[in-house]
Amino acid sequence: MTPTTTTAPLPVLARMLIAGAGIMSLANSVTIPFLAVFLRTDVGLQPGLIGFIIGSTVFFSIFAGFVGGSLSDVFGRARLLLISLSGVIASFIGLYLSDSATTVFACNATLALSSGVFAPVGKALLSDLLPRERRAKTFTYQYVATNIGYAIGPVAGAAVGLAGGRLAFLAGALGYGVYLVGLSVVLLRAPTAGATATDGGRRQHVSSVLRGLADSARIVTVDRRLLFLILAGLLLEAVHGRISSLLAQHLAVGFADGVTILGYVLATNAVTVVVLQAFVSRFMEKRDPVTSITVGGLLTVAGMAGFAVADGMWQFVAAMVVFSLGEILIYPAEFAIIDRIAPEASRGTYFGAQTFAQIGVFIGPFTGGLLLGAYGGTTMFLGVGAFALASVVIYLLVGRRIPGLAASAPDPHTSSSAR
C-alpha cells in the first residue's frame, strides 16, 4: 500500500455518492417518518390499516435488496441507480396526489422497491471506485452523511410546517430530483462506471439471483440455530424497524404539538447514534455479543416503557436516547453471531437468509396499530416492547451454545432505525 493510495482525493463520483446519502436521508426524513401522520389526518385511515400499509413495504424492500446488486451486474450500476432514483421521485409525486388507501399502498410499495434497489447498488458502485483499503472509511463517511440528514430533516420539516402534510412529498421529490441531476452529470464524466455485463454474463447473473433466493430460503430449514436467530432478529426488528410510525400515530392523536415532538425525537435518534456509536462500540468490543444483545434488548424495553409513560417532549427525547443506545449495542452483535455460525463457503447465503428478519418491520407497525386502536398508546408501546424481551430470551438460550462468541463484533455501519 503506497501513501497515495490512502491519501489521494476521493473520485468525484464517490464524493457524489456520499453527498447523495445525505441528500436522500434529508428528503426521506421529512416524509417517511411522518407518513403515518399524513395517512391519519389527511387520508383518514384507521391505525390498523396505517400499520399494514407502512409495515408491508418491508416485503418489497427485502425483495429489492436481494436482487438489486445482481441486477446491477446485468444492466449496469449507473443505469439502475438512475432508474431507482426516478422511481423514488415518481413515488413521492404519487403520494402527493394520493387520496385513497389503494393509491397510497401502490406508491409506498414503489418507493420501497426503488429505495431497496438503490442502497445495495450504490454501495457496490462505491466499492468499484475504491481500493479495498479505502472502502471501510468511505462507507463510514456515507453512514455519517446519512445520519446528519436524519438529524436535520425531522426538525427542519416540522419547523417549516412540512411534516405530515402533502407538500412534504413534493419537497422530497425535489431533493431527489436535485440528486438525480447531479448524479447524471457526474456519470456522464465517468461513462465506464457500472458497465453492463455481456449477454452470457446476464444469463449467468440472472441464474445466480434465482439460485441465491432459493438457497437463502432452503438454508433456514437446514440450520435450526439460524432459524431461531432469524426469529430473534425478527422480534427486534418489530421494535426498532419502524418506531417512527408508532410514535407518529401516538403523538398525532394525543398531543397538540405532536408533529414538533416527533421531529425532535427522531433527530435525537440520529444524533445519539452518530455521537455515541464509536464510544459504545469500543466499550463493548471485548464483550460477548450475546451480552451486548441482552443489554441492548433491556435498554430497548426501557426506552419503550419510557415512551409509554411520557407526556412531554423532553420525556420522549430521554426515552429515545435510551432506545438508541439499545440499537447501537444490538446491531453489530447480531452480525457477529451470524458470522460465527456461517460456514466459510455459505457466508453470503447466511447473511442473505438473515434478511428475512426484516419481516419484523411489518409485524411491529401492524401489531402496534391494532393495539393503539384498541387500547391506546401506553399498551401499544409496552406490547411491542415485549417483542424485544422475547428476543433476549431466545438469544440467551440459543446464542450461549454457539462457541467463540467472545470475538470482537464487526462494525456493519448500521443506520438509524427510527425512519
211 lies in some domain: no
Residue 65 domain-assigned (yes or no)? yes
Both 52 and 163 in one domain: the answer is yes
Question: Do residues 410 and 267 share a domain?
Answer: yes
In this structure, are 122 and 229 located in the same domain?
no
Grid coordinates representing 114? Answer: 426503488
pLDDT value for 211: 64
DSSP class of 395: I
C-beta of residue 323 within 8 angstroms of C-beta of residue 299? yes
Q: Which one-letter DSSP state was computed for residue 194?
A: T
Grid coordinates of 304: 419503550
56 alpha-carbon distance from chain centroid = 14
236 with 346, same domain: the answer is: yes
As averages over each run of 10 residues, the pLDDT of the chain (419 residues) reads 55 89 88 82 83 82 70 73 94 91 91 84 77 67 78 77 80 93 87 50 57 62 82 92 85 81 86 78 72 92 96 94 89 73 64 74 88 91 96 87 53 47
**Within its chain, how far is the Cα of 151 from the centroid?**
15
- Residues 394 and 264 occupy one common structural domain: yes
Q: What is the predicted pLDDT for the residue at 92?
A: 94
Q: Do the domain assignments include residue 2?
A: no
Does 268 lie in the same domain as 186?
no
DSSP 131-188: -HHHHHHHHHHHHHHHHHHHHHHHHHHHHTT-TTSTHHHHHHHHHHHHHHHHHHHHHH
Residue 205 maps to a domain: no
In a shared domain, residues 234 and 161: no
Q: What is the CATH number of the domain that holds 241?
A: 1.20.1250.20
Structural domain boundaries, residue 28: 11-197
Say if residue 191 is in the same domain as residue 293.
no
> Which helix (H) or strand (E) is 195 found in, with range?
none
Which pLDDT value is given to residue 199? 47
pTM: 0.67
Tell whether 147 and 251 lie within a shared domain.
no
163 plus 288 within the same structural domain: no
Residue 209 lies in a domain: no
Give Cβ neighbours of residue 41 (< 8 Å, ≥ 6 apart): 164, 252
The residue out of 197, 212, 239 marking a domain boundary is 197
Provide the sign of the torsion angle of the four alpha carbons 14, 111, 24, 238, taken in this order: negative
Query: Does residue 90 form part of some domain?
Result: yes
Domain closes at, from 197, 231, 251: 197
216 in any annotated domain: no
Co-location of 132 and 51 in the same domain: yes
Number of structural domains in the chain: 2
176 and 237 assigned to the same domain? no
For residue 204, tell me if it sits in a domain. Answer: no
